[in-house]
Each structure stands twice: as C-alpha cells, then as structure tokens.
Amino acid sequence: MSYEHKLLEDDYTCAYGGDPVKELDSFRSAVEKAMRGVKTVGRDQRTAWVFMEDNPMAMGYIGYGDFQSSVVGDPKYVIYARDVRNGKYGEYSEQYYMRMAVNIDVAVKHAKRFMRKYTTDEIAEVFARDVKKAVTTVISKAKDDYRSAQASAGVSTDTYKSNASENLMSELFNMVRGGHTFVNAELDKNVRDLMVKKSDADRFKGQTLPLDFLRVYKHYDGMRVDIARIADIRSYTMKPMYEHKHTYLANDLPDDLAGKVAVMSMCEDEHFVEGVGYRVNEAMFYLYVEDVTT
C-alpha cells in the first residue's frame, strides 16, 4: 500500500467503535502539548490523526500497540508520517512510514521531527491522481466512440490501414463541408457523426493538459486563494510548476477563475466536468487552463 493521505472533514470528527487504549490518550495529550497548534482526533482504538485546524490534511497519525508486520512484539508508541522512511520494511507497507519507540518522550520527539502540515503544492499532487483518473476515462471514451463511429461509417479501424482510413475520411469530410448530402441517409448520418467523434478524439492527441489547483483558506488578513499549476495532468509526475504559483485575496481572484469556481461550487464533492474542472470539496478545485503559455 502507498502512504495514506487523509483529508479531514471540517468538523474534524472520526467515528469508530470501542474505547481507546489509555496509553493513546496520554500520547495524544503529550503531542498536543509539545507541538504548538496541533490537535488530535480518534482514528480507531489504537490510533489518532494529528492535524492543524488551518490545514485540511492530517499530518499523519500516532498510536500505541503492536504495529510490527512480521512478528508479534510488545506494544510501542508509533508515529505514521509521510517524511518517515523505515528501511526495515518494504516501501509499500504501512510500517515503512512508521517510527516506533518504547518511551513516550522519544515518540513525541519523533512526532516533532517528522510531522508537518501540507503545503498547497503537496495537496495539489495528492488529489491530482483522482483528476487524472477522471480525465483518462474521458479520453478512453472519446477514443472508443471514435472507433465505433469509424466502423459505423464503413471506415477501417485497422492500424495497418490507418493512412488509407485517414485519406478516406478526409475526402468524406470535404464532401460534407462542401454541402454534399449522401443519398443513403444512414451513411450521411454516420459520416457526420464520425466528423464529430474524430474532432473529440483529436483534442487529446499529442497535447499536454494543464490544470490549475485552487485552494481557498482562512488567513489573518481575510480569505485567501493559493493557485498551483499542474503542467500535464496525464503525466507520471504531477508536480506543480514553480513559475505558475500565485496567492490572491479571495476578492481579487481573476474573473475567469472565479467563474469556473462558481460553476464547480454547484457540483458535489469529487465531481468532474470535462472542459471546466474537478471539485475536491468546497475549498479545493482543479480548473482547466485556457490559452496556455508556459
């Protein structure tokens, strides 16, 4: 498994059954006292999320118990954080991101060292994976619809005959653009539909697809909006671009961005609108970029 990035709800509640172990209560109190502005909320009986109210992401979690994966051992205090690299375990195990200690004071030091709140860039990377899935689904459907339209119009979808198919479609499309109507009504409909489906599929050919990630949050001078641009949401690495980072007061947000936010604000969480963007929640959005100059 990969690292668990946790988006906490606004009320910072987490429901679970049973009573927490008493050592966990002591650990939570110690961490909250040692780390300024930090709070904890129950994750399950053995663990609790660690967070700061001005950040939507949990910094990780702390716990008490036996978290070893290969052997049974004595219970220990544990922290789970994205900056931890525990070489005793494989990279895709939960324990890879854990530091364990018998002494609570040592565990608190681990928490202070490894737990930190997320930057806007990091949040942008976390949820970019969900947007990538949504975009990939749209691209796949466009390609499938295009192939179906080719078959309906009698155009070969054989890759070895792609040049011949392109030439045939070019001639058919030129005829339609010139005002021609095919005698066969079904063929006429299929050719016109093929023109549309080809145009839809061609939109994604050899082009990058940049998106702006917007995060709205409270600041001492009012509501602010951070913007971080992902150069290509379809790429393997989706790190924000340094030269495209901005912070606005909410009232100063450019009209084009404010308009898209207004559209996506009417959607439910985790909803994607092709050509507009993706809503993570009421405070975080990914928006398509128009007239890109990088």
- What angle do the packed helices 22-34 and 104-114 form, to 10 degrees? 50
pLDDT in tens, 96-136: 999 999 999 999 999 999 999 999 999 999 999 999 999 99
Q: Which residues contact 65 (CB under 8 A, 6 or more apart)?
A: 21, 46, 75, 76, 78
Cβ atoms of 228 and 257 within 8 Å: the answer is: no
DSSP secondary structure letter of residue 19? P
Average pLDDT, rounded, for the chain: 90
pLDDT in tens, 233-250: 988 777 788 678 899 999
Nearest alpha-carbon partner for 8 in 165, 141, 159, 123: 123
- The string of DSSP letters for 58-111 reads --EEEEEE---SSS----EEEEE-TT---TTS-TTSGGGGEEEESSHHHHHHHH
The pLDDT assigned to 234 comes to: 86
The pLDDT assigned to 16 comes to: 59
CB atoms within 10 A of CB 275: 9
Instruction: Report the range out of 15-29, 62-76, 88-102 with the highest average pLDDT.
Output: 88-102
The CA distance from 243 to 245, in Å, is: 6
Cβ atoms of 286 and 128 within 8 Å: the answer is: yes
Cβ atoms of 152 and 190 within 8 Å: the answer is: yes
Residues paired with residue 224 on neighbouring β-strands, in sequence order: 217, 249
Cβ atoms of 28 and 48 within 8 Å: the answer is: yes
Q: What confidence tier does 293 reach under pLDDT thresholds 50, 70, 90?
A: very low
Long-range pairs for 96-100: beta carbons < 8 A, 24 or more residues apart:
97/3, 97/60, 98/67, 100/67, 100/68, 100/76
Q: Residue written as tokens 């058919």?
A: 172
